[in-house]
Amino acid sequence: MRNIKLTIEYDGSKYLGWQRLGDSDKTIQGKIESILTKMTGESIEIIGSGRTDAGTHARGQVANFHTASHLAVLKIRAFLNHYLPQDIIVKQVVEMPERYHARYHATGKKYSYSVWNAELPSPLERSTSFHYQQPLNQQLIEEACRLLEGTHDFIGFSSLKKNKKKIRFVRLKKSVCNNRVKELPLHL
Protein backbone atom coordinates (compact mmCIF):
# COMPACT_ATOMS: atom_id res chain seq x y z
CA MET A 1 0.00 0.00 0.00
CA ARG A 2 1.39 3.41 -0.98
CA ASN A 3 1.04 6.59 1.07
CA ILE A 4 0.64 9.70 -1.11
CA LYS A 5 1.00 13.29 0.11
CA LEU A 6 -0.82 16.13 -1.67
CA THR A 7 -0.15 19.86 -1.38
CA ILE A 8 -3.31 21.72 -2.37
CA GLU A 9 -4.25 25.32 -3.09
CA TYR A 10 -7.87 26.43 -3.28
CA ASP A 11 -10.30 29.30 -3.31
CA GLY A 12 -12.87 28.20 -0.75
CA SER A 13 -15.51 30.80 -1.65
CA LYS A 14 -17.99 28.21 -2.98
CA TYR A 15 -17.27 25.46 -0.44
CA LEU A 16 -18.47 24.47 3.03
CA GLY A 17 -14.87 24.08 4.18
CA TRP A 18 -12.28 21.31 4.00
CA GLN A 19 -13.97 18.44 5.80
CA ARG A 20 -16.34 16.14 3.93
CA LEU A 21 -19.90 16.39 5.26
CA GLY A 22 -21.68 13.10 4.63
CA ASP A 23 -21.92 12.69 0.88
CA SER A 24 -21.69 16.43 0.19
CA ASP A 25 -19.72 17.44 -2.88
CA LYS A 26 -19.50 20.99 -1.50
CA THR A 27 -16.26 20.41 0.42
CA ILE A 28 -12.65 20.36 -0.73
CA GLN A 29 -12.05 16.91 0.76
CA GLY A 30 -15.21 15.56 -0.90
CA LYS A 31 -14.21 16.89 -4.34
CA ILE A 32 -10.71 15.40 -4.18
CA GLU A 33 -11.83 12.05 -2.74
CA SER A 34 -14.43 11.67 -5.47
CA ILE A 35 -11.82 12.10 -8.21
CA LEU A 36 -9.25 9.85 -6.49
CA THR A 37 -11.89 7.13 -6.09
CA LYS A 38 -12.70 7.30 -9.81
CA MET A 39 -9.01 7.34 -10.71
CA THR A 40 -8.00 4.33 -8.58
CA GLY A 41 -11.22 2.30 -8.47
CA GLU A 42 -10.75 2.21 -4.68
CA SER A 43 -12.72 3.90 -1.93
CA ILE A 44 -10.24 6.68 -1.07
CA GLU A 45 -10.32 8.72 2.12
CA ILE A 46 -7.85 11.59 2.40
CA ILE A 47 -6.48 12.87 5.70
CA GLY A 48 -6.05 16.64 5.91
CA SER A 49 -3.43 18.41 8.01
CA GLY A 50 -6.28 20.50 9.42
CA ARG A 51 -9.71 21.82 8.60
CA THR A 52 -10.79 25.10 7.12
CA ASP A 53 -14.15 26.77 7.59
CA ALA A 54 -16.65 27.61 4.88
CA GLY A 55 -15.32 30.24 2.49
CA THR A 56 -11.71 29.88 3.65
CA HIS A 57 -8.87 29.70 1.13
CA ALA A 58 -5.61 27.75 1.36
CA ARG A 59 -2.24 28.14 -0.33
CA GLY A 60 -0.61 24.97 0.98
CA GLN A 61 -3.13 22.58 2.54
CA VAL A 62 -1.45 19.21 3.03
CA ALA A 63 -3.25 15.88 2.90
CA ASN A 64 -2.39 12.22 2.42
CA PHE A 65 -4.13 9.04 1.32
CA HIS A 66 -3.33 5.35 0.96
CA THR A 67 -3.72 3.48 -2.32
CA ALA A 68 -2.75 0.24 -4.02
CA SER A 69 -2.59 2.12 -7.35
CA HIS A 70 0.74 2.01 -9.18
CA LEU A 71 0.14 5.31 -11.03
CA ALA A 72 3.18 7.62 -11.02
CA VAL A 73 2.86 10.68 -8.80
CA LEU A 74 3.04 13.01 -11.82
CA LYS A 75 0.13 11.14 -13.42
CA ILE A 76 -1.88 11.38 -10.19
CA ARG A 77 -1.29 15.15 -10.11
CA ALA A 78 -2.19 15.54 -13.80
CA PHE A 79 -5.38 13.47 -13.38
CA LEU A 80 -6.50 15.45 -10.31
CA ASN A 81 -5.82 18.83 -11.91
CA HIS A 82 -7.59 17.81 -15.10
CA TYR A 83 -10.81 16.82 -13.29
CA LEU A 84 -10.85 19.21 -10.32
CA PRO A 85 -12.69 22.52 -10.71
CA GLN A 86 -10.49 25.53 -11.50
CA ASP A 87 -10.73 26.82 -7.91
CA ILE A 88 -8.82 23.76 -6.59
CA ILE A 89 -5.33 22.78 -7.72
CA VAL A 90 -2.96 20.07 -6.50
CA LYS A 91 0.45 21.71 -6.53
CA GLN A 92 2.52 18.72 -5.50
CA VAL A 93 2.15 14.93 -5.19
CA VAL A 94 4.85 12.99 -3.32
CA GLU A 95 5.11 9.39 -2.15
CA MET A 96 5.73 9.23 1.59
CA PRO A 97 6.69 6.52 4.11
CA GLU A 98 3.79 4.34 5.27
CA ARG A 99 3.61 5.98 8.73
CA TYR A 100 3.34 9.57 7.42
CA HIS A 101 0.14 11.29 8.61
CA ALA A 102 -0.69 14.80 7.36
CA ARG A 103 -2.32 15.93 10.61
CA TYR A 104 0.15 14.41 13.09
CA HIS A 105 3.24 15.46 11.16
CA ALA A 106 2.14 19.09 10.64
CA THR A 107 4.61 21.48 12.26
CA GLY A 108 2.62 24.70 12.04
CA LYS A 109 -0.08 26.70 10.33
CA LYS A 110 -0.04 30.18 8.86
CA TYR A 111 -3.12 32.40 8.77
CA SER A 112 -3.36 35.68 6.93
CA TYR A 113 -6.09 38.28 7.46
CA SER A 114 -6.41 41.29 5.19
CA VAL A 115 -8.28 44.58 5.43
CA TRP A 116 -9.10 46.49 2.26
CA ASN A 117 -8.86 50.05 3.58
CA ALA A 118 -10.37 52.26 0.91
CA GLU A 119 -13.47 54.33 0.28
CA LEU A 120 -14.93 51.80 -2.15
CA PRO A 121 -14.85 48.00 -2.00
CA SER A 122 -12.86 46.13 -4.62
CA PRO A 123 -14.54 43.36 -6.60
CA LEU A 124 -11.10 41.73 -6.91
CA GLU A 125 -10.43 41.77 -3.15
CA ARG A 126 -13.91 40.92 -1.86
CA SER A 127 -13.27 37.22 -1.25
CA THR A 128 -9.85 37.66 0.35
CA SER A 129 -10.18 40.77 2.53
CA PHE A 130 -12.50 42.70 4.81
CA HIS A 131 -13.55 46.10 3.45
CA TYR A 132 -13.28 48.95 5.96
CA GLN A 133 -13.79 52.58 4.83
CA GLN A 134 -12.63 54.54 7.86
CA PRO A 135 -8.97 55.43 8.38
CA LEU A 136 -6.98 52.81 10.30
CA ASN A 137 -4.65 53.57 13.17
CA GLN A 138 -1.73 51.30 12.29
CA GLN A 139 0.00 51.90 15.63
CA LEU A 140 -3.07 50.74 17.62
CA ILE A 141 -3.49 47.71 15.37
CA GLU A 142 0.11 46.65 15.90
CA GLU A 143 -0.18 47.20 19.69
CA ALA A 144 -3.29 45.00 19.77
CA CYS A 145 -1.59 42.32 17.70
CA ARG A 146 1.38 42.24 20.06
CA LEU A 147 -1.06 41.14 22.81
CA LEU A 148 -1.70 37.98 20.79
CA GLU A 149 1.97 37.17 20.39
CA GLY A 150 3.46 34.48 22.60
CA THR A 151 2.21 31.27 24.17
CA HIS A 152 -1.49 31.07 25.07
CA ASP A 153 -4.10 28.45 25.94
CA PHE A 154 -6.91 28.66 23.35
CA ILE A 155 -9.25 26.19 25.10
CA GLY A 156 -11.96 28.88 25.07
CA PHE A 157 -12.05 28.66 21.27
CA SER A 158 -12.24 24.86 21.25
CA SER A 159 -15.25 22.57 21.37
CA LEU A 160 -13.18 20.13 23.47
CA LYS A 161 -13.55 21.60 26.96
CA LYS A 162 -12.69 18.50 29.03
CA ASN A 163 -9.54 19.81 30.75
CA LYS A 164 -7.62 19.56 27.49
CA LYS A 165 -5.21 22.37 26.91
CA LYS A 166 -4.94 24.00 23.54
CA ILE A 167 -1.57 25.66 24.04
CA ARG A 168 -0.27 27.42 20.94
CA PHE A 169 2.58 29.77 20.21
CA VAL A 170 1.56 32.76 18.09
CA ARG A 171 4.21 34.61 16.13
CA LEU A 172 3.21 37.71 14.19
CA LYS A 173 4.86 38.67 10.96
CA LYS A 174 5.45 42.40 10.60
CA SER A 175 2.42 43.92 9.00
CA VAL A 176 2.57 44.45 5.28
CA CYS A 177 1.22 47.90 4.65
CA ASN A 178 0.55 49.90 1.58
CA ASN A 179 -2.19 52.31 0.60
CA ARG A 180 -4.65 49.53 -0.22
CA VAL A 181 -4.25 46.34 1.81
CA LYS A 182 -3.00 45.79 5.32
CA GLU A 183 -2.17 42.22 6.31
CA LEU A 184 -1.44 40.88 9.77
CA PRO A 185 -0.55 37.21 9.23
CA LEU A 186 -0.63 34.90 12.24
CA HIS A 187 1.76 31.96 12.53
CA LEU A 188 0.50 29.20 14.82
25 carries an active-site annotation: no
Catalytic residue among 11, 23, 53, 87: 53
Rounded CA gap, 100 and 23, in Å? 26
CB 3 within 8 A of CB 97: yes
Own/partner contacts of 176-179, CB < 8 Å, gap of 24 or more, are: 177/138
- Rounded CA-CA distance 52/71 in Å is 29
Active site residues: 53
